[in-house]
């Protein structure tokens, strides 16, 4: 049973001496969901987010966390803030301490954990975001993407249930944004619920389970991303744009191409849809193989031997730890985000690839490929690189 | 960008992994020896040894180190010059009375004193720069914690350290924005622009302060600040090196006590 972790019932908020920023908003977030609050600048996204960990208190209406109304006394707020990790838009404003270690340790130390447990929590958090080895670095020497990771690690160290991120990809380069979105995907895999605000529709569209369109302090629409972004009128009202893939799909439909299946979220979905239309009846082509390697279980030598046996294979890394390993061993990555989809695309084209990843994500590859088989009928072989 | 430069060098200098206790002991010992020396030779020798350490052990490049020395030395030179003209003692070598109530003279004693002061400045400055270039603030915070510096003072120091870089960033950006729009072309304009710069940085830091409180609240602040892991252990090799340096310097101080320049 999926139960509701956060619920808002008709909340309103007016800034002192200002306009009403939130005008009666009701919605809920289920445990394990990825929700994107999407809206233009000034829609009230940040204001709304700040209410979820009790930084702002609504003037009227009720906010429930874990089915209990949020209370605003010191003790309850501390517990709430431990369970709702808040990542600010500007990491410089969130990072407090002079070294990465001290900053990530800030939360757990203030929760009163003994030093040994603090150390364990910090190490785990830094490993999670792929910043192992950065402990003694001062934050001002890090890149924007690294600072963002430190900020996320600082929140993860308190082991929250719900992660709230305000514009997680602002100020990051495209690769940095993809890295962060993939990190959020990994965190979801670890059982966290994730709520982000953004105005980047291209990022929110494939990522979110559910999208809440916000404008002028009110909810315009709340639905799965393909439905929410399909309503051109609403999207225009919210000063956003229709995601390119969705736009393309609808334009094809309008030209009388009857496309089977659901609306495409990724390039792979789109290719699959098109191939189903064009390849009707043709014999099934020869697919490439997707090899999966768990880097935690494979030595450096075994990996380089395998790679030299399979020259010219495309290489992708999934997950922060696998990417860190790849950069340590100076392996040239062909893909660093959306890896499974890109490897399936390669395989459809008859080319093989290797995915470097860790632990549970090996199953994720297998699951995605078998899901794809159900969708498209294409049976792509997945092989694990054997331990040697 | 000056402070940032120093701190950045310190973060990746060749002696980063040496225990900060040893580096501090060496440098503070050097300062005490410079002050207790009665001859100009010992402070100069200490300055030379520390400079060699900075250049070859910490691998700071010569140019950076030279630039750091220019400012304190120009002050020290002026100071020494005044001391030589005004202080007395011993036989006068040169004197000049432009007015009945004003006279300058250079004596044997004044030259000795001026040179001694100058060499002490050289020794002391190289010791201070040695600390600045080899021991980053983050390590010094750990040492201060061990030395029982009161926690509120230390927490404040750490937040100030972090904030300096943020305000610095803002300062540089605003300054560049002003220069791009010709904010410093005339004297009047410079005064106006500078006052605006100060104002905007003040407001910016006020905002940053409020954000800091929010950021701390959002992470359950209850008056505790974590410390960064462990201090690097004292290694035998570096311990012997520092001990050797201090012994040699002390020996020079003792053996050259009576040597004066003239």
Each residue of A276-334: pLDDT tens digit?
777 655 556 678 888 888 888 888 888 888 888 887 788 888 877 788 888 888 888 88
Whether A89 and chain B come into contact, CB under 8 Å, resolves to: no
User: Do residues B245 and B120 both lie within one domain?
Assistant: yes
Contacts of B11 in chain A (CB under 8 A): 137-138, 141
Kindly state whether residue B228 falls inside one of the protein's structural domains. Answer: no
pLDDT score of B121:
92
Kindly state whether residue B188 falls inside one of the protein's structural domains. Answer: yes
Is residue B5 over pLDDT 70?
Answer: no
Q: Helix H segments across chain B?
A: 2-11, 20-36, 41-52, 62-86, 108-134, 137-146, 151-180, 187-218, 236-255
Q: Residues B224-244: what's their mean pLDDT? A: 81
List the end-to-end C-alpha distance of chain B, in Å, as a whole number.
43
pLDDT score of B229:
61
A265 Cβ contact partners less than 8 Å away, ≥ 6 residues apart: A205, A206, A225, A226, A245
pLDDT-derived band at A179 (thresholds 50, 70, 90) equals confident
Residue A302's Cβ-count burial label (10 Å; 0-12, 13-18, 19+) is middle
pLDDT-derived band at A112 (thresholds 50, 70, 90) equals confident
pLDDT-derived band at A188 (thresholds 50, 70, 90) equals confident
| Span A220-261, pLDDT tens digits | 889 998 888 888 888 888 888 888 888 888 888 888 877 777
Contacts of A138 in chain B (CB under 8 A): 7, 11, 136, 138, 165
How many Å apart are CA A224 and CA A208, to the nearest integer? 8
User: Do residues B21 and B117 both lie within one domain?
Assistant: yes
DSSP reduced 3-state for A261: coil
pLDDT-derived band at A138 (thresholds 50, 70, 90) equals confident
Helix (H) or strand (E) holding B206, with range, is: helix B187-218
| Span A34-65, pLDDT tens digits | 999 998 888 889 899 999 988 899 999 999 99
| Span B149-162, pLDDT tens digits | 888 898 888 888 88
Containing domain of residue B110, as a range? 2-135+233-255
pLDDT score of B2:
47
- Determine the distance from the C-alpha atom of residue A229 to the mean position of all C-alpha atoms in its chain, rounded to a whole number: 18
Kindly state whether residue B67 falls inside one of the protein's structural domains. Answer: yes
Q: Which pairing describes strands A193-198 and A162-166: parallel, antiparallel, or unpaired?
A: parallel
Half-sphere exposure of A166 (CA within 13 A, CB side): 23
pLDDT score of A251:
86
User: Chain A residue closest to B170 (CA)?
Assistant: A92
Q: Distance from A121 to chain B by nearest Cα, in Å?
A: 13
Counting the structural domains of chain B, the total is: 2
Q: Mean pLDDT across chain B, nearest whole number?
A: 86
Q: Distance from A93 to chain B by nearest Cα, in Å?
A: 6
pLDDT-derived band at A203 (thresholds 50, 70, 90) equals confident
Per-residue CA distances from B210 to A42, B166, B207 (Å): 20, 14, 5
Q: Residues A71-85: what's their mean pLDDT? A: 90
| Span B138-190, pLDDT tens digits | 888 888 888 888 888 988 888 888 888 888 888 888 888 888 888 888 898 89
Is residue B115 over pLDDT 50?
Answer: yes
**CB A22, CB A12: distance < 8 Å:** yes
User: Do residues B112 and B187 both lie within one domain?
Assistant: no
pLDDT score of A33:
92
Q: Distance from A106 to chain B by nearest Cα, in Å?
A: 6
Kindly state whether residue B126 falls inside one of the protein's structural domains. Answer: yes
Is residue A1 over pLDDT 60?
Answer: no
User: Do residues B214 and B244 both lie within one domain?
Assistant: no
Kindly state whether residue B261 falls inside one of the protein's structural domains. Answer: no
Q: Mean pLDDT across chain A, nearest whole number?
A: 86
pLDDT-derived band at B1 (thresholds 50, 70, 90) equals very low
pLDDT-derived band at A388 (thresholds 50, 70, 90) equals low
Is residue B262 over pLDDT 80?
Answer: no
Does A105 sit within 8 Å of B224, measured CB to CB?
Answer: no
Contacts of B211 in chain A (CB under 8 A): 88, 90, 93
pLDDT score of A8:
92
**CB B15, CB B23: distance < 8 Å:** yes
| Span B59-88, pLDDT tens digits | 888 888 888 889 889 999 999 988 888 877
> What is the domain partition of chain A in residue ranges?
4-242, 290-384
User: Do residues B30 and B84 both lie within one domain?
Assistant: yes
Tokens of B237: 């090799």
DSSP reduced 3-state for A24: strand
Tokens of A38: 């999407």
pLDDT score of A189:
81
Please say whether the structural domain A4-242 has been given the CATH code 3.40.50.300: yes
pTM for the predicted model, two decimal places = 0.81
Kindly state whether residue B203 falls inside one of the protein's structural domains. Answer: yes
pLDDT-derived band at B4 (thresholds 50, 70, 90) equals low
pLDDT score of B17:
85
Half-sphere exposure of A115 (CA within 13 A, CB side): 6
Which of B137, B166, B217 is nearest residue A92 as measured by Cβ atoms? B166
List the end-to-end C-alpha distance of chain A, in Å, as a whole number.
41
Kindly state whether residue B226 falls inside one of the protein's structural domains. Answer: no
Does A138 sit within 8 Å of B11, measured CB to CB?
Answer: yes
User: Do residues B56 and B6 both lie within one domain?
Assistant: yes
How many Å apart are CA A74 and CA A127, to the nearest integer? 31
Is residue A7 over pLDDT 90?
Answer: yes
User: Chain B residue closest to A76 (CA)?
Assistant: B220
Residues comprising chain A, all counted:
388
Q: Between A27 and A372, where is the model more confident?
A: A27
């Amino acid at each position: 049973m999926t139960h509701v972790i956060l619920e808002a019932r008709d909340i309103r908020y007016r800034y002192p001496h200002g306009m009403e920023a939130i005008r009666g908003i009701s919605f809920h977030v289920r445990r394990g969901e990825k929700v994107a609050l999407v809206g233009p600048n000034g829609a009230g996204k940040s204001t709304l987010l700040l209410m979820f960990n009790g930084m702002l208190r609504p003037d009227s209406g009720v906010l429930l966390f874990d089915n209990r109304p949020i209370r605003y006394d010191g003790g309850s707020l501390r517990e709430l803030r431990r369970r709702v990790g808040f990542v600010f838009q500007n990491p410089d404003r969130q990072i407090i301490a002079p070294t990465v270690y001290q900053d990530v340790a800030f939360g757990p130390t203030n929760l009163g954990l003994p030093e040994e447990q603090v150390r364990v929590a910090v190490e785990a958090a830094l490993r999670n975001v792929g910043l192992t080895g950065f402990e003694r670095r001062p934050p001002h020497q890090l890149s924007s993407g690294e600072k963002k990771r430190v900020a996320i690690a600082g929140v993860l160290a308190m082991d929250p249930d719900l992660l709230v991120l305000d514009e997680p990809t602002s100020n990051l380069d495209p690769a940095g944004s993809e890295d962060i979105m993939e990190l959020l995907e990994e965190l979801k895999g670890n059982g966290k619920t994730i709520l982000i605000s953004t105005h980047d529709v291209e990022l929110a569209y494939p990522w979110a389970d559910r999208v809440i369109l916000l404008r002028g302090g009110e909810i315009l629409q709340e639905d799965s991303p393909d439905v929410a972004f399909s309503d051109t009128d609403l999207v225009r009202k919210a000063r956003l744009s229709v995601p390119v893939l969705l736009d393309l799909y609808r334009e094809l439909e309008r030209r009388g191409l009857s496309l089977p299946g659901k609306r495409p979220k990724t390039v792979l979905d789109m290719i699959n849809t098109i191939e189903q239309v064009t390849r009707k009846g043709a014999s099934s082509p020869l697919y490439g193989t997707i090899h999966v390697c768990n880097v935690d279980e494979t030595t450096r030598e075994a990996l380089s031997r395998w790679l030299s046996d399979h020259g010219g294979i495309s290489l992708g890394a999934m997950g922060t730890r696998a990417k860190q390993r790849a950069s340590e061993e100076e392996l040239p990555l062909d893909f660093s985000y959306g890896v499974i989809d890109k490897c399936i695309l390669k395989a459809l084209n008859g080319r093989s690839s290797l995915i470097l990843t860790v632990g549970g994500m090996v199953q994720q590859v297998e699951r995605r490929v078998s899901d794809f088989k159900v969708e498209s009928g294409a049976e792509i072989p997945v092989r694990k690189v054997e331990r040697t | 960008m000056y402070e940032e430069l120093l701190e950045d060098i310190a973060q990746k200098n060749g002696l980063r992994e040496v225990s900060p206790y040893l580096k501090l002991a060496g440098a503070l010992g050097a300062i005490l020896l410079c002050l207790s020396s009665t001859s100009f030779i010992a402070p100069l020798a200490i300055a030379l040894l520390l400079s060699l350490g900075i250049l070859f052990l910490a691998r700071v490049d010569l140019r950076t180190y030279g630039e750091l020395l220019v400012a304190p030395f120009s002050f020290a030179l002026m100071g020494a010059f005044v001391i030589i003209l005004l202080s007395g003692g011993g036989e006068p070598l040169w004197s000049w009375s432009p007015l009945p109530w004003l006279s300058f003279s250079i004596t044997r004693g004044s030259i000795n004193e001026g040179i001694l002061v100058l060499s002490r400045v050289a020794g002391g400055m190289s010791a201070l720069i040695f600390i600045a270039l080899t021991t980053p603030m983050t390590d010094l915070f750990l040492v201060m914690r061990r030395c029982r510096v009161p926690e509120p003072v230390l927490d404040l120091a750490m937040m100030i350290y972090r904030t300096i870089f943020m305000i610095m960033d803002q300062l540089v950006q605003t300054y560049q924005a002003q220069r791009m729009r010709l904010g410093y072309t005339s004297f009047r304009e410079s005064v106006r622009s500078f006052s605006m710069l100060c104002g905007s940085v003040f407001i910016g830091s006020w905002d940053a302060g409020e954000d800091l409180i929010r950021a701390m609240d959002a992470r359950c602040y209850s008056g505790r600040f974590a410390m960064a892991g462990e201090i690097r252990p004292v290694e035998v090799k570096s311990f012997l090196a520092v001990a050797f340096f201090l012994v040699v310097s002390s020996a020079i101080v003792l053996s050259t006590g009576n040597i004066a320049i003239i």
